[in-house]
Amino acid sequence: MSRLQGSPSLKRKRQDLALVSESLTDGERILYNLIHSKKDLGIWTGDMKRETNLPDNVVKKSLKLLQSKNLIKEVVNIQNKGRKHYMAAEFEPSKEITGGDWYSEGSLDTDLINLIKDVCLKYIFRQKVVTRDGVLEWSTKSGVFSAEVTTQQIEEILRTLVWMMRSWR
């Protein structure tokens, strides 16, 4: 799903850990505390098993229960898409996990990249000489982006366009 369609706020409020711990079995509590300690980096299931020494069936059952209680969530690790990676529900994945600004839900957001590129080209042809801040200001005022676009993203696209134009000569 492209971020161009708008993304709801994914920020979660921190839950009281004491209340959470009361309703969990020992295995679930151990697993939750481990996952929670990894914050925005999350943890792979293989590392969970190794670090907790819990039996495989306890880990699987606990993960399902923790997910059903919305205490943890599965996240896509862009570097290891085939591995199940989990983090506490209150955290947002770090750029190391998600792939950064150019990725959405584990996939390269080509729609966003192409839109930013097209907007930059349109502005370049209108103005002849442009700056990163000028492109961002113009695009923000005109409302061409429904998702938030950063100065870093504009700069990366402009650098790519300059490189492409130089290679055409």
Give 147-164 pLDDT, tens digit per residue: 778 888 888 888 888 887
77 token code pair: 């690790």
Q: How far apart are CA 143 and CA 33, in angstroms?
A: 43
Pairwise CA distance, residues 72 & 126, whole Å: 48
Tokens of 99: 């792939």
The answer to whether 89 and 71 are in contact (CB under 8 A) is yes
Per-residue confidence (pLDDT) for residue 14, from 0 to 100:
44
Per-residue DSSP letter, 128: S
* Predicted local distance difference test score (pLDDT) of residue 120: 83
Q: Is the pTM of this model over 0.85?
A: no
Both structure tokens of 68: 């059903």
CA 117 to chain centre: 21
Residue ranges, the chain, pLDDT below 70 = 1-21, 146, 168-169
Q: Which of 124, 131, 53, 45 is nearest to 85 (CA)?
A: 45
State residue 109's pLDDT score.
Answer: 83
The span from the CA of 141 to the CA of 104, in Å, is 25
